[in-house]
Amino acid sequence: MGNRVRLIAAAIVAVAVVIGVWIWIASGHESTDDAQIEGHVTQVAARVSGTVLRVAVNDNQSVDAGAILVEIDPRDYQVALEKARAELADAEATAAAAESNVPITSATASGNIGTAQGSIEQARGGADAAQKEVDAAHARLTTAQAKQREAEANAVKAARDVERLRGLLAKDEVSQQLFDAAVAGADAAKAAVDSMRSQVAEADAGILVAESRLVAARGGERQAHAALQSAQTGPEQVTAMRARAASAEARVQQARAALQQAELNLQYATTKAAQAGIVSRKSVEVGQVIQAGQPLMAIIPLENVWVTANFKETQLTNMRAGQRATIKVDAYGGKEFHGHVDSIAAATGARFSMLPPENATGNYVKVVQRVPVKIVFDPGQDPEHLLRPGMSVEPIVYIK
């Protein structure tokens, strides 16, 4: 009897311990079956348009970072590259010529100013000399005219003497010799008048020559002043030349940028994997004409996957980032993986849906909301990369 009582008592204690342990364990964790594995999905798109020459991968193929995925016919882009190189060379040559013209224009402008100033001084000296020559010619004309008047007066006197002596000779009051001397004097005086008239005409012609030289000298002086004014625009010409040189340099930069773009376009004709992963949803084929931005395939890296678990809001009371978790994967018969809570979403899943619930009505029904919780795997949990985004899992978070 006593042994039976002790056995019953021991059984009751054991059951109580089991129930207590179960209650303690059940209250120390939260689980949900509304969870799946997530991962990054990199969409691969064409950077340039063209005809596909080669597709180097297939669906579900593993690729490394930098591996060639698709090759587009590069001939159009090679031609564009050569054209861009030629345009850059032409722009550089033009810029070099424009730059070399700047010091040449500056030196030429300075030299032209000096030359024009010298020409002005020379022309001014020539004009002064011509003016003096004109004045001297007028003086010679005045002297010649005075001498002409004097010679004419002498000729008139000599002619009168001849007439007077002619009457006296008829009366034999004077000698023939005296009369002949008077006639010779009259002829000499007349010749002197003719000579003076020639000198007056010569002096008058000399005035015309001197005045023409003065006009030419003054014209040269005006031309020298005009040349000086033109030369004084040298700084503006230098500024304009520098502006043309700057414009040519800007065209060089533009051509260099076009060349860089052409080089990039030629590189873009070969599409490469930005990171390692598995090829999925390949939609490109050889011979297909594709456009820039057109999706070609997706690459999913399996090194970085995590779990998005949608816990009820009532399960989040004691859940915190950093708490450990176990993840059972349905695809592998409930195989367990270890991880920890990374973060808790800032809003419920309903808030991110395309049609969020509208509760501002009189027909409101309270529904327990679910909040996404991100759970990351501990390092080294999946060396064979068996986990795939979208797989259903059942995480357990230990909150105590």
167-206: pLDDT as tens digits: 776 777 667 777 677 677 777 777 777 777 777 777 777 7
More confident residue, 298 or 101: 298
For residue 295, the one-letter residue type is P
**Mean pLDDT in residue range 256-261:** 93
Average pLDDT over the chain, rounded to an integer: 81
Give, in order, the Cα–Cα distances in Å from 171 to each of 166, 177, 180, 198: 9, 15, 16, 39
Dihedral pair phi/psi, residue 72, rounded to 5°: -105, 150
- Lowest-confidence region among 35-44, 126-135, 264-273, 388-397: 126-135
Whole-structure pTM value: 0.58
142 — pLDDT class (breaks 50, 70, 90): confident
H runs (alpha helix) in the chain: 2-26, 75-170, 176-231, 234-268
Q: What is the pLDDT of residue 324?
A: 94
- Lowest-confidence region among 15-19, 85-89, 226-230, 344-348: 226-230
Length of the chain: 400
Structure confidence by residue, pLDDT tens digits, 199-253: 777 777 777 777 777 677 677 667 766 655 565 555 665 576 677 878 878 888 9
Q: How many CA atoms lie within 13 A of 68 on its CB side?
A: 12
H runs (alpha helix) in 47-74: none
| 3 state DSSP class of 214 | helix
- State how far the Cα of 303 lies from the Cα of 342, in Å rounded to an integer: 17
- State how far the Cα of 46 lies from the Cα of 268, in Å rounded to an integer: 8
- State how far the Cα of 60 lies from the Cα of 294, in Å rounded to an integer: 20
- Lowest-confidence region among 79-88, 174-183, 344-353: 174-183
More confident residue, 4 or 92: 92
DSSP, res 66? T
326 — pLDDT class (breaks 50, 70, 90): very high
CB atoms closer than 10 angstroms to residue 81: 19
128 — pLDDT class (breaks 50, 70, 90): confident
- State how far the Cα of 45 lies from the Cα of 294, in Å rounded to an integer: 5
- Among candidate residues 41, 72, 47, the one with its CA nearest the CA of residue 297: 41
37, β-bridge pairs: 307
113 — pLDDT class (breaks 50, 70, 90): low
| 3 state DSSP class of 30 | strand
pLDDT cut 90: percent of the chain above it = 41
CB atoms closer than 10 angstroms to residue 23: 10
Domains of the chain: 30-73+278-398 (2.40.30.170), 79-249 (1.10.287.620)
Contact 236, 31 (CB under 8 A): no
More confident residue, 138 or 69: 69
- Among candidate residues 398, 399, 395, 400, the one with its CA nearest the CA of residue 32: 395
- State how far the Cα of 365 lies from the Cα of 376, in Å rounded to an integer: 34
Contact 254, 262 (CB under 8 A): no
Q: Which tokens go with 155? A: 């000729």
| 3 state DSSP class of 301 | coil
Q: Is the pLDDT of residue 112 over 80?
A: no
For residue 141, the one-letter residue type is L
pLDDT cut 70: percent of the chain above it = 76
